[in-house]
Chains A and B, each alone.
Chain A
């Protein structure tokens, strides 16, 4: 086919920008949430170089007005996901009165609770009450009771906001994790991080807006749950919003490293040649997808520089390692992941999720939870304090939690020193810090058994509404039409922002 006449070509060029935007709009029913994207694309199309620091780019995106946008308290978030469900009874939810009721059989009491037990304990002959074997002490100005398992986290009690009244609908790991991280127990939904990427766009166009880190657990005994990429997938949202895993071994991002035998200078030349050929076919055909393709190759090329720079921690000071602990020098450790999370948000990544598995203590809980806690305690402290020292904590929301709670009765045999705990959906504890939440606060309360919530229940969807609120999103307005429905992270059952914990 012959090239188009010049006047047609101009019309094409003018039209293409509009068309690309239109294609985005077509993806969504309400037209909400796409403005950030189209602005980003426009920005890319202009060939703008990477913003040298995140704040310049931030001005760009926050200046836009979308109907779902509200004043943000935080610009970014780090979610520390303890997969397996850490025991609230041994870490946060202090029940001293239980100490005198060791081994009391709760069988009759449980029957009155109307709760289905999991297949793992439903057939136990007895349900012996297992008080924690760990000591609790008061911390911070508010005299918050915290367990000896997390001595460093306890040191910063005044920075933390505990919700002791979390509850969920699921009793098994898979559906519970899906509910916490995608807002639904059904498959095919978009993860929390992908919603944030979709709604807020990116602050650094050389990096993904949602990054996932997988931290190693050190205990050889831990009961390690499997997790699926659907927890950070984009579901019905476009693939660009899916979490990108930064790997702790091999290349940090899949296929990031050039194939062997390709020196960098050649890579650039090859890319230029490719761009040249694509440009010519664009001139002939006028399909805007060709231009977008070229931009994606350029972005990939920039990621080849920005990601290794990120992964290279050699410039971190001894003081930093002092904060996070020496394990932060070991790639893939929780401490190293926490430090990486700080580096990521510092460079404008919107949402970082650290998965740390191994918190499913059905048996040998005292031994295993101690080792799990040791993995994360120091580095959690380091992360929050590091953010604080850098003046970033105010605009960074840190969330720490699992997918449900654990039972007050022992799974399997109970001895003076050993016990296990089964899954418990009716209450669990999480904490948050920074980004618009009050510090030194405990929200919600459970009964004497840490079994039922007696005050201020917070459903998982309320937590989602609150997280979105803090990041400047009205959870009812950020939606995407799919399967005939305006899909939202918080779904169709009403959810509310937990106002009491907002700073």
Chain B
């Protein structure tokens, strides 16, 4: 049994997206209850949120953008950059708590306090660009975590696996010319899903060519396609790259019952994906895996999906 961290904090619920928005605080409650009902809570190491030092946020985001976000938030604006990005007066602080909590979780893992972790944070991050909020995302949590691993802990090669049903444009753009961070994403084909990037031919630029890999999945597809594409695209890529730590952008919005996509992954399909990531983590990264929540909006399913997710982390 592994020592698995669970970053969970009621303050992540302060980010209020108003009525009629899918990215809501109840998602975290649904996950917490699912984990609790499965009897897994006692086996996990609960980690509270910590406010991030801005110097880490600035490794990925333009300081002007960070200031603009804080200012707009304080003036009581309800949206930022796009109408999708609904927010409240607490959004900026909540976003900083998300980043800080993840970085503290990473620190604990590197220090050996925990083996791996699931970070159930809001707001999500993988769409956030250097100077723009997008798709419910403000700070790119996973990208900042990768930079923190490299700059604070001397990790050279970070592997990011993004199985949210949408392409993580922000993460890809952060690292597309960087050969030290491999970004792999599997998602619904961009001609049929937000944000419209993540096509097969997007494979990195300049020195980073060959260090980005995208597996678009057609509408209506599910477990079988994911299995085939992950085996075909991710396995050989990581065999060459040999990541020292794995970061996971975990999105559960490809589930059959989630109406944010036309992808039909089953609950078992999600377990297979995570078990496969565990194997890769054990093979290359000494089991060092930090999973960070992105999307997933079906409240009826998030409980079981989160419980399975942390059970797999616990089983190592």
Interaction A to B: no
Chain A positions within 8 Å of B, measured between CB atoms, are none
Chain B positions within 8 Å of A, measured between CB atoms, are none
